[in-house]
Amino acid sequence: MHGFFASPAVQLGAGIGAAVAIVAATLGVFTVIRSQAFAGESMGDIGTAGGAGAYLLSVGPVLGFAAATTAAAAIMELLGVQRARGRDLVTGVVLGAGFALSALLLYVATTDNTTSGTTSTVMFGSLFALRSSDLALTLSLAAIALGVTLALFRPLLLASTDTDLAAAQGLPLRLLGFAYLLALAIAVALAALTVGSILSTALLVGPAATALKLTDRPLRAVVYASVIGIGAVWLGLVLAYDSYDWPPAHHGWPASFFIVALVLCAYLAGGGWRRWADRRAA
């Protein structure tokens, strides 16, 4: 285990992973409150195409994911996904188109010998394979998404609670919704970088949903979700590092598996705690 902390790949993974966990958890709280987990999931899936495209163009995966999820956010805004709740059909159709593009790009990428691990990396992430050249862009994006969300915390919270109440206070609902979608796009892109595009929703929604079981207060929910997210990412890294000695292949298990499994365990434990606390209060 002493090799673990000395490894530059682990240090980079742990650093980026923590930043990503905080952003995902913060946006996740609003995503759960706004019941827009499906929008987050769709962005992650469309992000797959961006991740695959980035490999083909030999640019950093962060750039690919972020470009694709931001485009997805713009499309959702144009289609008015937020204004008419339940436009799941439209989202679903766009989602299908995104997957088709992903299939094409991944096919092209994997038939090229030099990028054979692409599919797995894009869809399921690879925390140990992060490049230090991605660090600056990743942290900048994280700072933007977090900055926007925390600056708009109260207006977003009110608009997410009830649009009529927010309108009575004169809040620009459409602008707020779009700012949230853009921040969500960044959060999903970052989550895709760490746990993969397919599993990004787990990191987005899981810690947030757990935190909402633990506290009655919105700001505390953000803090708890961040702590849960960081805990899952770091513990997942340790387990993934340790798993190099595990059967069957002695290649190590993917970190994203451990992270998502830990998030699920936290959620189940949070639910159990809530039921216990409610029973005690009753």
Partner 1 sequence: MTATLNPSPVKADPALRVAEASVQIGQRRILDEVSFELTPGTVTGLIGANGAGKTTLLRAILGRQALSRGQIAKHGRIGYVPQKFLLDPDMPLRGRDLVGLGLDGRRFGLPLPSKAKAARVEEALRQVDAQSFADTRVGRLSGGEQQRILLAHALISQPRLLLLDEPLANLDLRSAKEVVTLLSRLAAEHELGVLISAHELNQLLPVMGQVVYLADGRAISGSTDEVIRADVLSLLYRHHVDVLHVHGRVVVVAGEGDQVLS
CB nearer to partner 1: pick between 103 and 165: 165
Interaction mask 131-150, partner 1, x per CB under 8 A? -------------------x
Q: How far is the CB of 150 from partner 1 (least distance, A)?
A: 6
Q: How many residues contact partner 1, by CB under 8 A?
A: 31
What is d(CA 54, CA 64) in angstroms, rounded to the nearest whole number? 5
CA-wise closest residue to 119 among 260, 254, 252:
254
Among 6, 114, 164, 282, binds partner 1 (CB under 8 A): 164
Q: Which of residues 165-184 bind partner 1 (CB under 8 A)?
A: 165-171
Q: How far is the CB of 18 from partner 1 (least distance, A)?
A: 20
The answer to whether 274 and 214 have CB atoms below 8 angstroms apart is yes
User: Could you say which DSSP state residue 251 is in?
Assistant: S
What is d(CA 75, CA 98) in angstroms, rounded to the nearest whole number? 11
> With binding defined as CB under 8 A, does residue 217 bind partner 1?
yes
Phi, psi (deg, nearest 5) at residue 86: 90, 20
What is d(CA 164, CA 273) in angstroms, rounded to the nearest whole number? 34
Count CA atoms closer than 13 A to 12's CA, side-chain side: 16
CB nearer to partner 1: pick between 34 and 258: 34
CB nearer to partner 1: pick between 104 and 151: 151
Among 136, 219, 268, 277, binds partner 1 (CB under 8 A): 219
Among 83, 85, 131, 154, binds partner 1 (CB under 8 A): 154
Q: Which of residues 194-213 bind partner 1 (CB under 8 A)?
A: 211-213
CA 53 to chain centre: 19
> With binding defined as CB under 8 A, does residue 161 bind partner 1?
yes
CA dihedral 131, 126, 184, 90 (to 10 degrees): 130
Q: Which of residues 19-58 bind partner 1 (CB under 8 A)?
A: 29, 33, 35
Give me 114's structure tokens. 């030099």
What is d(CA 73, CA 156) in angstroms, rounded to the nearest whole number? 17
List contacts with partner 1 (CB under 8 A).
29, 33, 35, 150-155, 157-158, 161-162, 164-171, 211-213, 215-221
